[in-house]
Amino acid sequence: MSLAKFLDRDAAIVAPALLGTTLLVDGVGGLIVETEAYHPDDPASHSFRGPTPRNGAMFAGPGHVYVYRSYGIHWCINFVCRNASAVLIRALEPTDGIDLMRARRGLDEVRALCSGPGKLCAALAVTGEFDGLMLEAPPFAIALPRRSAIAAIGPRIGITKAADRPWRFGVKGSRYLSKPFPKA
């Protein structure tokens, strides 16, 4: 399946299917092991209240990248899906450019390099300048998995609205998650 077609579905479908995908930015990155889905009718979503200058990329159509600043300090990256839904990339298992990521993060421990949405953006040098770019073109490189990894499912993290929706997905047993999943 082409990347464009893959992303032109609801975020709740795309988010678990993305597990095991390779994400590289300028050749640096790893395997996606944790994601979350956000919907326009979801009070926790940035697209819930319609377009603003900040969230415009979420309304630009499937295949775009939405990068926003979190708590005024960190950057977080989303893949835009159908109908202003989006998938937040929460954690990677580092595979490529590990020494560069170590230098950017000022940290040796591979396990913690990309174990959180703000961390992985720092490790991959993703900033607001990437907001609105197409995922299909450089500096991005995406390799979809042959088969999606087995997903653990749980409530999303760090939000106060609609916190009960089970739209967080992770690779079962991965040591690179931002937080463990509640035991099923």
Partner DNA sequence: GAGGCGATTGGCT
Partner DNA sequence: GCCAATCGCCTCG
Residue ranges that bind DNA, judged by CB under 7 A: 36, 38, 44-47, 49-50, 52-55, 58, 66, 68-74, 76, 78, 86, 88, 105, 107, 112, 116-119, 122, 156-161, 178
Could you give the angle at the alpha carbon of 120 between the alpha carbons of 116 and 122, nearest 5°?
A: 120
Closest approach, Cβ 141 to DNA, in A, equals: 21
Q: Identify whether the C-beta of residue 90 lies closer than 8 Å to the C-beta of residue 178.
A: yes
Residue 68 or 139 having the CB closest to DNA: 68
Residue 146 or 155 having the CB closest to DNA: 155
Residue 118 or 139 having the CB closest to DNA: 118
> Locate tokens 């300048």: which residue?
129
Closest approach, Cβ 146 to DNA, in A, equals: 27
| Rounded Cα–Cα distance for residues 174 and 29 (Å) | 16
| Rounded Cα–Cα distance for residues 75 and 68 (Å) | 6
Residue 78 or 97 having the CB closest to DNA: 78
Q: Identify whether the C-beta of residue 118 lies closer than 8 Å to the C-beta of residue 74.
A: yes
β-strand partners of 140: 25
Closest approach, Cβ 67 to DNA, in A, equals: 10
Closest approach, Cβ 183 to DNA, in A, equals: 17
